[in-house]
C-alpha cells in the first residue's frame, strides 16, 4: 500500500480481536459516521440525519459553521476564518462529510485512559452538532505524531501500544487515523517541500519550556526545541498538501500559530470540555475534571 493510500485508509495497528475488546470496553459515542475507516471506507455507514437537517446540495454554509464554531467548543476565534466557507462549500458540493484533522500526540502514558476517551467523546459531540444541520455530518481524522514521539525519546513499543489503543477507540466512534510520518512521506512524493524558517524568539521560548517538560531525547532541551520546530515546518506543509479541503483542529492556542498549516482554516478547540485545554495524552489516567456543580 502506498503512503497516499495509508494516509486516507487509516491505520489498524491493533489486531481485530484487540480492536473489538476496546470497542466493547469503551462504547462508541454519538457521531456522524459509524465506520472503521471513516468516509472513505467501503463498509462505512451513516447515522440517519436529524429531521430537518439539510442534505448534501441543500445547505447553508454559515449555518454549518455556526453549528460547531461556538464557545462550547472553541477556545478562541478561528485562524484563517475566510477559509471556512470555501471548505464547507467544497464538502457539501461533493456530498461528503466535513473533515477535521488534528494532531494526536504521545505523553508519559503507554495505555489509553479516561482523558483520552473523554476527548474522543467531546470530538464526537462536535461531529453530532454538524450532523444535526448537515446530513453527511463530519469526520475527525487523527494524525498520530509518531515523529514527535520519536524525537522526545519515547520507545517505539510504548508509542505503538498507545497509538494502537487510541486508533481502535477512535474507529469505534467513526473516526479515522493516520501517522504523521506517512503524511510527510506522501507530501514528499507530491513535491511539497519546506523552506528554511527560523523560529521567533517568543515561539522558541515556548518550545524550550515545553521541551523542558517532555523532551527525553538526545542533546539539550534547546536543541530538542529547535529540532521540533524544524520538523513542524515540514509537517505543516505536508498536512496542507494531504488534506487541502479539511479544517485543522488544535488544542493549542494561537500563540503557536506558526506551527500550523498556513493555508488551512485553524480551529482552536478545548480538549475535553469547555474550559479544559490540556492535551489528554499529557494527563494522568485519573485526571478527568468534573464540571462544577
Residue whose C-alpha is closest to residue 127's, from 117, 115, 141: 141
- The answer to whether residue 195 is domain-embedded is yes
Residue whose C-alpha is closest to residue 65's, from 87, 47, 93, 33: 87
- The answer to whether residue 289 is domain-embedded is no
Q: What is the reported pTM?
A: 0.74
Question: Of 214 and 281, which is predicted with more confidence?
Answer: 281
- The answer to whether residue 263 is domain-embedded is yes
Q: Taking residues 153-162, report their average pLDDT.
A: 93
Question: Of 60 and 137, which is predicted with more confidence?
Answer: 137
- The answer to whether residue 293 is domain-embedded is no
- Total structural domains within the chain: 1
Integer Cα distance of 224 and 213 in angstroms: 11
Identify the pLDDT of residue 40: 37
Contacts of residue 243, defined as CB under 8 A and 6 or more positions apart, other chains included, come to 99, 101, 141, 264
- The answer to whether residue 42 is domain-embedded is yes
Band the pLDDT of 216: cuts 50, 70, 90: low
- Grid cell in block for residue 22: 476496546
Tell me the residue range of the domain where 205 lies. 3-282
Q: Taking residues 185-204, report their average pLDDT.
A: 69
SS3 state of residue 269: strand
- The answer to whether residue 197 is domain-embedded is yes
- Rg (Cα) of the chain, in Å, rounded? 18
Q: What angle do CA 146, 148, 150 make, to 5 degrees?
A: 70
- For residue 50, pLDDT beyond 80: no
Rounded alpha-carbon distances, angstroms, from residue 282 to 50, 100, 210, 213, 234: 36, 22, 11, 10, 24
- The answer to whether residue 141 is domain-embedded is yes
Residue whose C-alpha is closest to residue 184's, from 1, 6, 9: 6
pLDDT 10s digits, 144-153: 999 999 888 8
- For residue 124, pLDDT beyond 90: yes
Share of the chain above pLDDT 90, in %: 55
Amino acid at each position: 500500500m502506498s503512503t497516499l493510500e495509508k494516509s486516507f485508509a487509516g491505520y489498524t495497528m491493533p489486531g481485530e480481536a484487540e480492536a473489538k475488546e476496546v470497542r466493547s470496553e469503551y462504547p462508541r459515542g454519538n457521531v456522524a459516521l459509524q465506520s472503521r475507516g471513516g468516509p472513505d471506507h467501503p463498509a462505512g455507514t451513516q447515522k440517519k440525519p436529524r429531521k430537518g437537517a439539510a442534505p448534501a446540495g441543500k445547505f447553508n454554509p454559515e449555518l454549518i459553521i455556526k453549528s460547531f464554531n461556538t464557545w462550547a467548543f472553541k477556545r478562541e476565534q478561528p485562524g484563517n476564518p475566510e477559509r471556512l466557507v470555501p471548505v464547507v462549500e467544497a464538502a457539501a458540493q461533493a456530498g461528503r462529510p466535513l473533515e477535521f484533522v488534528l494532531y494526536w500526540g504521545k505523553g508519559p502514558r503507554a495505555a489509553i485512559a479516561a482523558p483520552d476517551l473523554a476527548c474522543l467523546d467531546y470530538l464526537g459531540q462536535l461531529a453530532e452538532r454538524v450532523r444535526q444541520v448537515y446530513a453527511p455530518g463530519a469526520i475527525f481524522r487523527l494524525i498520530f505524531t509518531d515523529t514527535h514521539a520519536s524525537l522526545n525519546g519515547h520507545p517505539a513499543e510504548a508509542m505503538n501500544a498507545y497509538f494502537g489503543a487510541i486508533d481502535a477507540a477512535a474507529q469505534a466512534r467513526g473516526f479515522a487515523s493516520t501517522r504523521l510520518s506517512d503524511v510527510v512521506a506522501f507530501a514528499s512524493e507530491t513535491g511539497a517541500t519546506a523552506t528554511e524558517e527560523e523560529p521567533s524568539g517568543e515561539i522558541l521560548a515556548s518550545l524550550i519550556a515545553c521541551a523542558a517538560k517532555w523532551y527525553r531525547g538526545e542533546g539539550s532541551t534547546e536543541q530538542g526545541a529547535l529540532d521540533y520546530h524544524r520538523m513542524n515546518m515540514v509537517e505543516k506543509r505536508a498536512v496542507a498538501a494531504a488534506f487541502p479541503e479539511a479544517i485543522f483542529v488544535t488544542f493549542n492556542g494561537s500563540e503557536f500559530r506558526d506551527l500550523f498549516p498556513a493555508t488551512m482554516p485553524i480551529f482552536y478547540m478545548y480538549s475535553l470540555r469547555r474550559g479544559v485545554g490540556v492535551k489528554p495524552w499529557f494527563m494522568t489516567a485519573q485526571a478527568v475534571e468534573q464540571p462544577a456543580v
